Amino acid sequence: MWNSLFPSFPLVSALLLSNIARASFAPLAASTLPHLPRVEEEDFSIAAGSGGLLSPILIPRVPGTPGSEKVRKHFEEFFAKELPTWNVTTQTSSQTTPLSKGMKVPFVNFVATKDPPWVKQGDVGRYVLVAHYDSKVTPKGFIGATDSAAPCAILLHVARAIDQALSRRWEKMMKDGDHLLQEEEERGVMVLFLDGEEAWLSWNDYDSLYGARDLAQHWEQLYHPPMSSRKNHLGNIDLFILLDLLGSSAPLIPSYFPTTHWAYTAFARLEQQLRDAGLFLSHKANSRPWFHDINKGSNGIWYGGMVQDDHIPFMARGVEVLHLIPSPFPRVWHEMDDDGEHLDLDTVRDWATLTTAWMVGAMGLEEFIVADEKQHVKRGEGRKTEL
Ligand SMILES: [Zn+2]
């Protein structure tokens, strides 16, 4: 991503044209928070070969290289093994880069979706959790732990953490017949790992966001059947939640867009609740709120569009965006020491818990998360700290 004072896309008009996101967020009771699936230490181990969610991503993964393929395989195996009910697919484009000497490089976006079983593709809205999985070609051997290995691992955790509760909610709705009565359509969830975010030579409109630019265009042109409630595949995105440059301690996350400030506010409240409940692992080391913009009013200054990132081609087409990226960027940004050793693992695990909590609220999963926990305990698989 890139920080720029003068955005080159017509972002302002895109913002004016877009609808205000249909906000729905159920605040969580403090008593629910201890029931959120625990973030296991081994899932975010940084030791090579240790498995888990993160360590397989901590390798150079430049588009079109074996490292990139390996990381994609990690995602595929994770979903096949742990989340078999998710629909997994990839979308590939071939594009030249300033370094490819006219040769085409494959950019492969990874897409995993879980929708309510009764809804048609053309009628479903989704919360889309996004991170880029490619790493920068220079400096040689660059790992990009915050950029964006950790965000990818965090999203794998979130998907797994809400999976059972989603199934349970939808089973109950079908049993009770509620799914047919709802005024608002039930949402699905997508995890989207984009390829080719990084520039090869120097950031500009054509040397950056390779995967995102192609996918946004592709989905815009992919129409649903007539009579669908969503026009095209881009229309399935109710909110594009982009995580980037996360994993250093004490991030400061601005609220970038007025139309998604409701979602930002929900994050801020949950952060505070987790801190108050003693469930924020990094709190002792740093108690300063990450989501510090909670009181920004309508006449505040909104910096959306100044940070260029994977949301740009989607936002230019009217998609609502929540951008979770710190300002200032982490000290290690685009440096060799953006590696596993320089991650703050408490902060990484806090991001996993906080994002899970947000999804639990946004998807109406509170009672189902608690039910999951009780079931586990009954079967003797309970976690040590709760109940
Ligand atoms: Zn980067």
**Distance (Å) from CA 4 to ligand 1 centroid:** 14
Distance from Cα 76 to the centre of ligand 1, integer Å: 23
> What superfamily does domain 30-368 belong to in CATH?
Zn peptidases (3.40.630.10)
Cα(334) to centroid(ligand 1), Å: 6
- Catalytic annotation, pick one of 43, 115, 197, 366: 197
CA of residue 329 to ligand 1 center, whole Å: 10
**Within its chain, how far is the Cα of 49 from the centroid?**
25
Q: Is 205 a catalytic residue?
A: no
Query: How far apart (Å, rounded) are the C-alpha atoms in residues 374 and 256?
Result: 38
Q: Is 55 helix (H, G, I), strand (E, B) or coil?
A: helix
Q: Which of 244, 271, 310, 339 is catalytic?
A: 244
- How far apart are the CA of 8 and the centre of ligand 1, in A? 19
pLDDT score at 336:
98
Model pLDDT, residue 17: 34
Cβ–Cβ < 8 Å for 128, 239: yes
Q: How far away, in angstroms, is 189 Cα from ligand 1 center?
A: 25
Range list of H helices, 134-260: 150-176, 178-181, 210-221
What are the residue boundaries of the structural domains of the chain, listed by start? Answer: 30-368
Give the pLDDT confidence score for residue 12 in this predicted structure.
39
Each residue's pLDDT expressed in tens, for the chain with a length of 387 residues: 677 644 434 343 334 333 444 556 888 999 999 999 999 999 999 999 999 999 999 999 999 999 999 999 999 999 999 999 999 999 999 999 999 999 999 999 999 999 999 999 999 999 999 999 999 999 999 999 999 999 999 999 999 999 999 999 999 999 998 887 776 789 999 999 999 999 999 999 999 999 999 999 999 999 999 999 999 999 999 999 999 999 999 999 999 999 999 999 999 999 999 999 999 999 999 999 999 999 988 778 888 778 999 999 999 999 999 999 999 999 999 999 999 999 999 999 999 999 999 999 999 999 999 876 665 554 444 444 433
Residues constituting the chain: 387
CA distance 251 to 291: 9
How big is the CA angle at 55 (ends 50 and 60), to the nearest 5 degrees? Answer: 130
Q: How far is the CA of 143 from the centre of ligand 1 (A)?
A: 10
Active-site residue flag, 207: no
Dist. CA 199–CA 205, nearest whole Å: 9
Give the pLDDT confidence score for residue 18 in this predicted structure: 38
Taking the mean position of all CA atoms in its chain, how far away is CA 89? 17
Q: Distance between CA 176 and CA 161 in Å, rounded?
A: 24
Its pTM stands at 0.92
Cα 136 to ligand 1 centre (Å): 6
| pLDDT in the model for residue 23 | 59
253: amino acid identity, one letter: I
Place of tokens 């200032």: 328
